Structures are given as structure tokens and as C-alpha cells.
Amino acid sequence: MNIIMLHGGAGSSGVDKKLMEYAELSKLKNTLDAVCNAVVLMENDDYFNAGTGSYMRLDGSIQMDAAVMTENGFGAVMAIEHVKNPVLVARDVMEKSPHLILAGDGAERFAHALGHKYYDPSTEKAIKKRNNDIEDIMSGKIDSYKKMMENIDISSFIDTVGAVARINDKFAAAVSTGGAPPMLRGRVGDSPVPGAGIFCGNMGAVVATGVGEEIIKNMLCISIYNEIGKKPLKDIVIDKISQFKYHAGVIAVSKDEYFAYSNTDMSYAVLEF
């Protein structure tokens, strides 16, 4: 049985039907093609915080992170600007470069050299959110990471998008994000960090969503992956997520199981084919 799973990010709700439509459009024979296609569809939809729907940094820039991973390869971009589909650039890093990760202007130059067109993902949603963040900072509502976490309104934004798949007994994963506002220029979250926001091997694939700093510190995805086969996948995921103080979610697939779970709203879709 083949399977593909998509999530719309921590904080997403009411778009399960849309995600199922995207899953249907991603029923492909190759696992990497499937997860990349699913993430591209979400990057092109400005509801989601990835690609065109990405949030702005406090300086007004939009820097995006994305990663892909298979049982045998990994590629990621960090803080990339002026491209429409960062996940496809991450795939090119894996397949067409000698590196695993490219960042900043180097990632952008690489993308444009390979034919990815210049693209401005700015939207009214992103501008409005940035202005609200600046107002909160100027008013003193946000003056530290701790206070930001205590005052964060998860319903006001959505996080990373991602997909995992098992097709013909092969696994793949892909993630993309516009970050978690408010954020400084250059901030990198968990999404492009292998083991934190994404991990894939011959036992399965896992991607995460939520507060990137916390996910990185806990290396969430590889901590789940390393437990696969020791007990039911559902128990593994719930146990790991229960240790998080702030919002976190996961979609995961193994050789004979799959599971999606979040400690906050998280729209997702599961398609067996």
C-alpha cells in the first residue's frame, strides 16, 4: 500500500479538504516527486506559510527555508529569497550540487543559475503581520523570546508545510516554510535542519511543524525516527510531542504505519493508493 501525508502547519485549520485535493494531485510513482509536488502546491497557495504565503522578517524581507530528504540523500536551502518554490531549489541542491545545504544569497544565486526565475512572494497578509509585530515590539508587548512565546497567538499565523510518502516501499520527505514571526533577518528554524524538522531513512519519514527553536533543541524528527519499530508509531509521536511546552506537530510514516498529531490545530491529509 502506498501512502502520502500532507500537513498545512501548526495553526492551520479548516483546509483538510484542500490538502486532500493536493494529495490526490501528488499520487506519483516516485516518492520524491510526490512529496515535492505536494509541497509546491502549498507553496503556490498563499493561505500557507511557505512560498507565496511566507511571512516577512522584521526588516521587510522574506527569507524562506526548505528541505527534501530520501533514504539516500538530503538537500536544503536556508534564508533564501526571490524564488517561488524553495523546495525545488532544495531538491536541486541535493541532486545537482556537491553540497547538502546552501544559504542566503548563495542559495539564491544557485537557484537563478539553474533557471529558477526571480519572484517576489510579498503579499498584503505578510505586510500586515509585519506591521502588527513591529507595533507589539514598540509597545513593549514583545521584548524577549519568553514573552513572545507567552503572548503568541497561534491562530494569527500558520507554520511550516510538509509532506511524507511511502511509495513502492521507498520513503521521502519535504518541508518548506516562511518562518515564524516575529523574526530577525537571517533566522533559520527547524525545517531545513536534518533530524530536527525533517528526517528520512529506510525505516520511515518524519516532518515537523511548530516552534523551530524548540524543535531543534529536541531534534524532534530523528528522536521519533530512532524509536520506529520499538513500539506503535502513535505512541512514539504522542510521547515526544507531549514533552513540548510550545506548539509542535508531526506527520510520520513507517513501513506499516502512519500517524499525524499536534498539540494545537494542524490540518492534514492522508491518502492511501
Query: Catalytic amino acids?
Result: 160
Q: Is 252 exposed, middle or buried (0-12, 13-18, 19+ CB in 10 A)?
A: buried
Question: What single string gives the DSSP state of each residue in 157-185?
Answer: ----EEEEEEETTEEEEEEEE---SS--T
Kindly list the distances between the CA atom of residue 73 and the CA atoms of 14, 41, 43, 259, in Å, as whole numbers in the listed order. 34, 22, 22, 23
Q: Are 232 and 197 in contact (CB under 8 A)?
A: no
Q: Are 206 and 173 in contact (CB under 8 A)?
A: yes
Closest CA to 162 of 67, 75, 90, 230: 67
Which cell is 83 given?
524564488
d(CA 83, CA 153): 28
